């Protein structure tokens, strides 16, 4: 599919995703976070990258609290120019409003290299069963994940209503090894491989 067609299809899908209902998802959010915390892949992780949720994203507050209690070190992204940089966060309650009002680490924190992260928890507007992800269109997360270690796991976290049969993919799109919803854990046949 020509790149112009891929981008046009992504624009349509973003509009569809933003129109999904948000009411009544509190229980689904708690169950999705519980499933994420139960993954065997999360057990050996010494450092996990989380995100601060915006509308249409599963919150990670319970995950942050539990991982801190387990002694896992957390990193959260902060937008700096056209890039995301990771910073150590000891308590997600210390996040401040940043890029587009999204909560992120305050300036002056300890920088974390992408290579130091064992597991990335990644938001998206939509995911598919092959591990493809549709983000907001800025490419920030894809650029960050390109710097991750090869053995670092990428886990998409979303609501079941955000899983579709197939998403278009561009050459620079980074796919997930797993996708976790309140209903299931999706393990693509070719973990993290693009189509």
- Say how many domains are in the chain: 1
Strand pairing category for 47-49 and 153-157? unpaired
Residue 55 belongs to a domain: yes
Lowest mean pLDDT among 45-49, 97-101, 146-150: 97-101
Give 150-169 pLDDT, tens digit per residue.
999 999 999 999 999 999 88
pLDDT, one tens digit per residue, over 112-125 is: 999 999 999 999 99
120 vs 143 pLDDT, higher one:
120
| Domain span holding position 94 | 3-186
For residue 195, is it within any domain? no
Chain-centroid distance, C-alpha 193: 16
Domain-embedded: residue 70: yes
Q: Which residues contact 10 (CB under 8 A, 6 or more apart)?
A: 134, 137, 167, 168
On whether residue 152 sits in a domain, the answer given is yes
The answer to whether the beta carbons of residues 126 and 149 sit under 8 Å apart is: no
User: Residue 95 falls within a domain, yes or no?
Assistant: yes
193: pLDDT strictly greater than 60: no
Q: Residue 193 falls within a domain, yes or no?
A: no
C-alpha Rg value of the chain to the nearest Å: 16
Q: pLDDT category, 92, cuts 50, 70, 90?
A: confident
Tell me, what CATH number does 182's domain have?
A: 3.40.50.10420
**Interacting residues of 39 by C-beta distance below 8 A, sequence separation 6+:** 155, 178, 180, 185
């Amino acid at each position: 599919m020509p790149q112009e067609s891929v981008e046009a299809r992504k624009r349509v899908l973003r509009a569809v995703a933003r129109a999904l209902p948000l009411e009544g998802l509190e229980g689904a959010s708690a169950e999705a976070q519980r499933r994420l915390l139960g993954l065997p892949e999360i057990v050996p992780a010494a450092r996990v990258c989380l995100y601060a949720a915006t509308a249409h994203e599963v919150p990670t507050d319970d995950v942050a609290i539990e991982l801190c209690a387990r002694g896992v070190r957390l990193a959260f992204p902060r937008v700096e120019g056209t890039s995301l940089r990771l910073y150590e966060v000891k308590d997600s309650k210390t996040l401040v409003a940043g890029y587009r009002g999204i909560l992120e680490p305050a300036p002056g924190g300890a920088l974390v290299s992408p290579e130091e992260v064992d597991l990335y928890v990644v938001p998206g507007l939509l995911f598919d069963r092959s591990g493809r992800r549709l983000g907001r269109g800025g490419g920030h997360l894809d650029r960050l994940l390109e710097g991750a270690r090869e053995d670092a796991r990428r886990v998409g976290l979303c609501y079941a209503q955000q899983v579709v049969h197939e998403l278009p993919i561009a050459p620079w799109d980074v796919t997930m090894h797993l996708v976790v919803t309140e209903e299931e854990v999706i393990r693509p046949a070719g973990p993290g491989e693009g189509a």
